[in-house]
Amino acid sequence: MRRILCLLALALPPLAAQSALVSVIRQPKATAAEFTVPITEFQVRKQGDFAHLHLGIGLGVRHWDDGDNALRFVADANATANSLFLGFGAVIEVPPGEGAFLGPRLRVGWAFHPSWALSLEGEHLERPFSPGLSVRRRSNLGITLTTRF
C-alpha cells in the first residue's frame, strides 16, 4: 500500500504542472466548487484566435442552502474556441449517509478570456439502485464560472 501511495504522490505533480480548472457553480438551492486536473490538454493559437481542449478528472463539493454537503467526483471534457465554451462531464455525488447519485452534465457558455468562462450548466443525477420510495433523482440548472490556471 505504501508503494502505491508513493507512486501516486510522484505521478500527481506532473499533472498539476499543467493547467488545472476551478469551477464555482451556483444552483437554485446549492453552491458547488470543483477542482479538475488534466489527463490531457491541447491548445492552438493562430493570429488572435485560440482553441483549447481539456480532458480531466477531479473532486468537488456541493453545499446545499439547508446545510447539507456532498462530495463530488468529476470526469470532464471542456473545449474553448474564441468566445465559445462547451463542456461535458460525468458526475458522481455522494451525500453523507445516502447512496451515490450519478449522471451527465452539460455546460454551454461564453469564454470572455482564454482562461475564464461563464456558462449555463445542466446536470441530471440519478441513484440507479435505490430501494423503496427514497429520492432517486436530482436535476439542476446553474450558472458556472470556470477559470484555468
Note the pLDDT tens digit of each residue in 100-111.
899 999 999 999
User: pTM value?
Assistant: 0.79
What is d(CA 88, CA 117) in angstroms, rounded to the nearest whole number? 14
* pLDDT reported for residue 15: 47
Evaluated on CA atoms 29, 30, 31, 36, the torsion sign reads negative
Report CA 14 to chain centroid distance, whole Å. 20
All three cell numbers of 27: 444552483
**Residue among 103, 91, 104, 96 nearest 128 (CA):** 103
Would you give the end-to-end CA distance of the chain in angstroms?
A: 32
Amino acid at 146: T
Residue with C-alpha cell 461563464?
A: 118
pLDDT average, residue stretch 110-126: 91
Beta-strand ranges (E) seen in the chain are 21-27, 30-46, 49-64, 69-81, 84-94, 101-113, 116-126, 137-148
pLDDT average, residue stretch 119-123: 95
Residue 132 scores a pLDDT above 70: no
pLDDT in tens, 8-53: 455 555 444 467 899 999 999 999 999 999 998 888 877 777 788 8
All three cell numbers of 95: 451525500
Report CA 12 to chain centroid distance, whole Å. 18
